[in-house]
Structure 1
Amino acid sequence: MSDKETVKQELLALGSEWAEAMVANDADRIGAFMADEWVIVSERGVAPKEHFLEFVRSGALTHSSFEMVGEARIKIYGETAVLTGRVVNTAHFGGQQFDQEEWSTDVFVKREGKWLCVLSHITPFDAEFEKMREEKQK
């Protein structure tokens, strides 16, 4: 296995472990995957690590499912890697359940031998657009 393939397998395993931590609603485990400067970008704006983790710690934000669908796209640039994939999850926030399907991009940097996420970006998945795109590829 090439070095790049090894890194890709490491990142896929890391993504699975992170998803398990999300479903366990364990803020400390979730935070261990993030660099101190981590932020998440969504349609609601930019939120820093501590803001996100505080929602988890308080129980205001929980997940009952979280999984990658299909094959992830992973690009490696030395000590930086970008992982993009489709994620299906069920979140609970503000007393409401949200069944989400979204595109997620995570930017990782390798520090002291460990991959840490510095940025996560999520955007809603558009099923109609995806169907149209797949039909054009036939």
Structure 2
Amino acid sequence: MPVHASAQDKISTSIEQEIINLSRQKWLWMADKKADTLAALFHEKSMFVHMGGSWGKEQEINVIKSGGIHYKKADIHEVSVKIIGNTAILLNRITLLAVVGGNEVTNPFMVTEVYIKESGKWLLGSLSFTRLIGQ
């Protein structure tokens, strides 16, 4: 028996794809150190969790501007999105090539991104890196 997607399923799929595309674009902006573009994407109250600590929007933008962390390349292996109301939770399993403190490092991460839709626009509310062991 054929399975027919409802209009709601098609809307959800469309929103999920929009979030996936936004996330991919964010990785490119991070690689290119487009701090001003990222500042517009990051919610004013956004939080960032890294292996070395956690901080808010201003410090994340400063880290990108200064090159404290240069997100050179994110190889995305898996991605999934769940939509809950005006919130989207995206999980990326990536291998990240970055320069941290002048040293080039490659790490496997599960990255959790939380997007909130405000005034018709998706904003990044949280970005958390969880290093994967044995990857």
For residue 31 of structure 1, what is the aligned residue in structure 2? 39
Report deviation, 1:56. 1.3
Match of 2:61 among 46, 53, 70: 53
Match of 1:14 among 18, 22, 29: 22
Q: Which amino acid aligns with 1:12?
A: I
CA distance in structure 2 between the partners assigned to 1:124 and 1:57 by the alignment: 24
Report deviation, 1:14. 0.2
**Is 1:85 aligned to residue 97 of structure 2?**
no
- More moved, 102-111 vs 22-31: 22-31
Report deviation, 1:122. 1.1
CA distance in structure 1 between the partners assigned to 2:75 and 2:36 by the alignment: 20
Q: How many residues in Structure 1 have an aligned counterpart in Structure 2? A: 127
For residue 75 of structure 1, what is the aligned residue in structure 2? 82
- Residues 41 and 47, structure 1, Cα contact 8 Å, conserved in 2: yes
1:122-137 matches, within 5 Å, as: 122-127=129-134
Report deviation, 1:42. 3.0
Match of 1:103 among 82, 92, 110: 110
SS of the residue aligned with 1:37? Answer: strand
- Structure 1 segments of 4+ aligned residues over 6 angstroms from their partners: none
Task: Show structure 1 runs of 5+ residues with no match.
Answer: 129-138
CA distance in structure 2 between the partners assigned to 1:57 and 1:7 by the alignment: 30
CA distance in structure 2 between the partners assigned to 1:121 and 1:79 by the alignment: 19
For residue 131 of structure 1, what is the aligned residue in structure 2? none
RMSD: 1.5
**Is 1:62 aligned to residue 53 of structure 2?**
no
Report deviation, 1:95. 1.1
Q: Which amino acid aligns with 1:67?
A: D
- So what's the TM-score if we normalise by structure 1? 0.84
CA distance in structure 1 between the partners assigned to 2:102 and 2:46 by the alignment: 26
Q: Which amino acid aligns with 2:84?
A: Y
CA distance in structure 2 between the partners assigned to 1:100 and 1:45 by the alignment: 16
Tell me the percent identity.
24
